[in-house]
Amino acid sequence: MLDANYFRALVSGRQRGWHASILRAGLLLGEFPYGCAVRWRNWRFTTGKREVHQVAVPVISVGNLTVGGTGKTPMVEWLARWFRERGVRVALVSRGYGAEAGSQNDEALELEKKLPDVPHLQNPDRVEAARTAIDEFETQLIVLDDAFQHRRIHRDLNIVLIDALEPFGYGHLLPRGLLREPIANLKRADVIVLSRADAVAVAARATIRAKAMKYAPQAAWLEVAHQPKSLLSSTGSESPIDSLQGQRVAAFCGIGNPAGFRHTLGELGADVVELREFPDHHAYHRDDIDDLVTWTRGLDVHAVICTHKDLVKIGVDQVGGCPLFALRIGLAITQGADELNARLESIISAIEVPADGASDAV
């Protein structure tokens, strides 16, 4: 089993040598059957041989083309807040990937903290979860998290995120690259969002846009930045992000794109002495905490920084005698906000909302 960091270095071509070349050749052999399976599955949905279920309320899907983090959770949070501010009862539905039996996964725990009035249902059968949300919570709109490949539910708006740092999965399907399905399948997208757009130059953004819009000329184009808002402790207290300026910090994360996290910390002026990377959706246990304590004590740092996804699973405010903070991130739309608002307004026009915009909290 390849380590996640080594796998990324391998498929990106950063890992050199004859051993890496042989491994890439082996992964390339696996790409063909995977691609055949993906195309067969999509063909069955497209031709109606597999049923697409229509639920009783509008559905918005947020997803991506690649494995790893592209910023779906901040986008889901932004959408839920947008509709709640307009009096719409929203529910989030996801598969619950990475959750231990009988528990919520990290995205659900994170979103529960941020959106206490928005129910989040996790179920591998997302059709059943959506219907439960409608029947039991009187939900007026469903937001599907990580659902571009989940085609069993009809959606009224398909939002696809592309990470500016790893836009097209190094040009290969799994396992040779990071693509879940061919780039051409962007044709199903209604909105394409370039996340972490501020992390690359204008010319690079233009190149990514040109390639994406070649396959989805009908889609709206958005560019978003993940802007740090504050440092958050497990007790809920907040500190200003400028307190990291010039400070030596240790960092760790269990997310799909650790490079994006490091980039953000660097932009804040923090001196990241060391970044410890865990697998995406990592479930932290006592041994992990003890290991982090030992690791931190060996470093001369001002603080330890993680993501909110990590903090909600750890629940401590110190590691090895150093304060532990999560970097609280907010989504800022830097391009395309008007077109997105127009598409969302067209969906809300079909929903009965009280005239004063008020709606009972869920």
Q: What are the pLDDT tens digits along the chain (362 aa)?
A: 667 778 888 999 999 999 999 999 999 999 999 999 999 999 999 999 999 999 999 999 999 999 877 889 899 999 999 999 999 999 999 987 655 555 566 677 788 888 999 999 999 999 999 999 999 999 999 999 999 999 999 999 999 999 998 899 999 999 999 999 999 999 999 999 999 999 899 999 999 999 999 999 999 999 999 889 899 999 888 999 999 999 999 999 988 778 778 888 998 999 999 999 998 888 899 999 999 999 999 899 999 999 998 998 898 999 988 999 999 888 999 999 999 999 999 999 888 765 555 445 43
Decide if 358 is inside a domain.
no
Distance in angstroms (rounded) separating the CA atoms of residues 257 and 173:
17
Quick one: tokens of 249?
A: 């910090």
Same-domain pairing of 215 and 263:
no
Q: What is the CATH number of the domain that holds 235?
A: 3.40.50
Q: In this structure, is residue 235 part of a structural domain?
A: yes
Same domain, 14 and 115: no
- Give the domain CATH number at 178: 3.40.50.300
Verify that 284 and 184 share a domain, yes or no.
no
Q: In this structure, are 192 and 70 located in the same domain?
A: yes
Separation CA 75–CA 27 (nearest Å) = 32
Q: Contacts from 108-116 at CB under 8 Å and sequence distance 24+? A: 109/309, 109/312, 109/313, 110/73, 110/308, 110/309, 110/312, 111/73, 111/76, 111/77, 111/80, 113/308, 113/312, 114/77, 115/77, 115/80, 115/81, 115/84
Same domain, 17 and 121: no
* Size of the chain, expressed as the number of residues it contains: 362
Shared-domain flag, residues 148 and 184: yes
Output the pLDDT for position 330. Answer: 86
Domains contained in the chain, number: 3
* pLDDT number for residue 261: 87
User: Could you tell me the pTM of the whole model?
Assistant: 0.86
Beta strands in the chain (DSSP E): 59-64, 90-94, 120-122, 141-145, 157-163, 191-195, 220-232, 238-239, 248-253, 271-277, 303-307, 318-319, 322-335
Looking at the domain assignment, is residue 212 inside a domain? yes
Domain span holding position 308: 228-330
